[in-house]
Amino acid sequence: MNRQWKTELIGIGTELLLGQIANTNAQWLSEQLARYGISVYYHIAAGDNRKRLTDIFTTAQSRSNLVIVTGGLGPTEDDLTKEAANELFGQSYRMDETAKEKIEAYYKKNNLSMTSNNYKQAQVFDQAYILENEEGMAPGQIVEYDGVIWVFLPGVPIEMKHLMTDGFFPYLKERYDLPTEIKSEMLRFIGIGESALEDCLSDRIRSQDNPTIAPLASIGEVGVRLTASADTIEEAKEIISEEKEIILSRLGSHYYGSDDSTIEEKVRDLLESKGYTIAAAESLTGGAFINELIHLPGASDVCDGGLVSYTKKAKEKSLGVSPYVTNRYGTISKECAEAMAERVQHIFSSDIGISFTGVGPSSSEGQEPGSLYIGLKIGDQRAYHHFYHMQGAREQVRKRAVKKAYELLFQLLRN
């Protein structure tokens, strides 16, 4: 049976509303459902209140055809998911014997006294399809009521994921036309913003069907996730390959890799392929640039070292930047950035010297917050600089600065 999916995810627990924990279940569920072409329309977080839960469930019944509820299946009085749902279903309960025996065995094995309310976890709807929980106590349940599929799962992430992967998706594939094979690939781009990328691909995004196309932005870069469905994994790969070729024909100059690739790894590989080494002089970034590089395998082949010269004194004494430069132009200037890059290249005898100097969240030396100078010295060429204005709080500025430097090196080394 084929179906147009309209899915609602409901996370139960007052701790979600108080911000004590993040609803990572909803994130994971949305990602997995998308792989099967199942659209999620609503994310809801609800507290442990029976009346409000009943109202939320009634609304979900009226507007969705797949409702996945996580949490509220435990043994305590504030675990109210089943009670609130049964205001809608009006079903009797039965005891799931497998879950009951597991609960009893757990308490016996650990020599603990079991109270009667623990049996509540084994209580299921009379007409439910049971998903056995091999990771915990409470089983999952599927109830099809008045055209809507309801799925009740524990809120513990490892239990929820197990029940979805080994229980719910096989259940759904038996009854509905879901693709046999799903394949996804994340294409990674740098040096282009999310809005510009979406504009370039607007016609492909508007007409998307199979594969689906999902732009995803992060600090300093953008990803495009392609997800294809087919009868075989080979066919799904071919569908993705054809769409990828179209996308790269438009955005290839910004593309650096797929899936788990990182821009830092790409720059390391480019340095290694050309036999270059690099050294960094960092002020604003406080060593973050070199740290991203040296944690990678093989970094010692391309990274000579780095210096954090945060103050004017450090720039003069440790790096050897001329006091004439710092006094006349300031430490946050193109002249200082170029001198820092030149000095660190000389100190480490590197092929490339790179430097960072700038302003965090408050102005300094007459420079606006977010001002950033990146200096570069390559071989025997004259040192030069790039200027940027970074948005965000202090840590955001630092992260964006590091990412921008890797973008510069990627374009420089590739070309």
pLDDT digits (tens, 9 = 90+) for 182-194: 788 999 999 999 9
Instruction: Please check the confidence at residue 178 and state whether its pLDDT lies above 80.
Output: no
- 53: which residues sit within 8 A by CB, 6+ positions away? 12, 46, 72, 80, 81, 84, 85
Model pLDDT, residue 391: 83
Model pLDDT, residue 311: 93
pLDDT per position as a tens digit, 259-283: 999 999 999 999 999 999 999 999 9
Q: Cα–Cα distances in Å, from 393 out to 219, 239, 359, 361, 398? A: 13, 41, 11, 6, 9
**In 10 A of CB 408, how many CB atoms?**
18
Length of the chain: 415
* Sequence letter at residue 373: Y
pLDDT per position as a tens digit, 396-407: 889 999 999 999
Model pLDDT, residue 161: 93
Task: Identify the band that residue 218 occupies on the pLDDT scale cut at 50, 70 and 90.
Answer: confident
Least confident of 37-51, 113-127, 339-353, 376-390: 113-127
Model pLDDT, residue 1: 59
Gyration radius from the chain CA atoms: 28
**In 10 A of CB 415, how many CB atoms?**
6
Helix (H) or strand (E) segment spanning residue 408: helix 394-414
> What secondary structure does DSSP assign to 78-107, as a single string?
T--HHHHHHHHH---EEE-HHHHHHHHHHH
Helix (H) or strand (E) segment spanning residue 59: helix 50-63
SS3 call for 353: strand
SS3 call for 168: helix
Residues 154, 133 contacting (CB under 8 angstroms): yes
Structural domain boundaries in the chain: 7-175, 187-258, 263-414
Model pLDDT, residue 251: 96
What residue has token string 């309209």?
6
Distance CA 123, CA 208 (A): 44
* Partners of 153 in the β-ladder: 70
Mean pLDDT of 200-204: 94
- Give alpha helix (H) positions in 252-287: 263-274
Mean pLDDT of 157-170: 93
* Sequence letter at residue 178: L
* Sequence letter at residue 280: A
**Average pLDDT in the chain:** 91
**What is the CATH topology of the domain spanning 7-175?**
Molybdenum Cofactor Biosythetic Enzyme; Chain A (3.40.980)
Q: From 3.30.70.2860, 1.20.1250.20, 3.30.420.40, 3.30.1340.10, which CATH number describes the 187-258 domain?
A: 3.30.70.2860
Helix (H) or strand (E) segment spanning residue 245: helix 233-251
Mean pLDDT of 296-325: 95
**In 10 A of CB 341, how many CB atoms?**
29
Instruction: Please check the confidence at residue 55 and state whether its pLDDT lies above 90.
Output: yes
SS3 call for 283: coil
Instruction: Please check the confidence at residue 32 and state whether its pLDDT lies above 90.
Output: no
Instruction: Please check the confidence at residue 214 and state whether its pLDDT lies above 90.
Output: no
**In 10 A of CB 241, how many CB atoms?**
14
Mean pLDDT of 132-155: 92
* Partners of 258 in the β-ladder: 187
Model pLDDT, residue 118: 76
CATH number for region 263-414: 3.90.950.20
Q: Determine phi and psi for 172, rounding to 5 degrees.
A: -70, -40
Mean pLDDT of 352-372: 84
Tokens matching residue 334: 């193109």
pTM of the full structure = 0.68
SS3 call for 335: helix
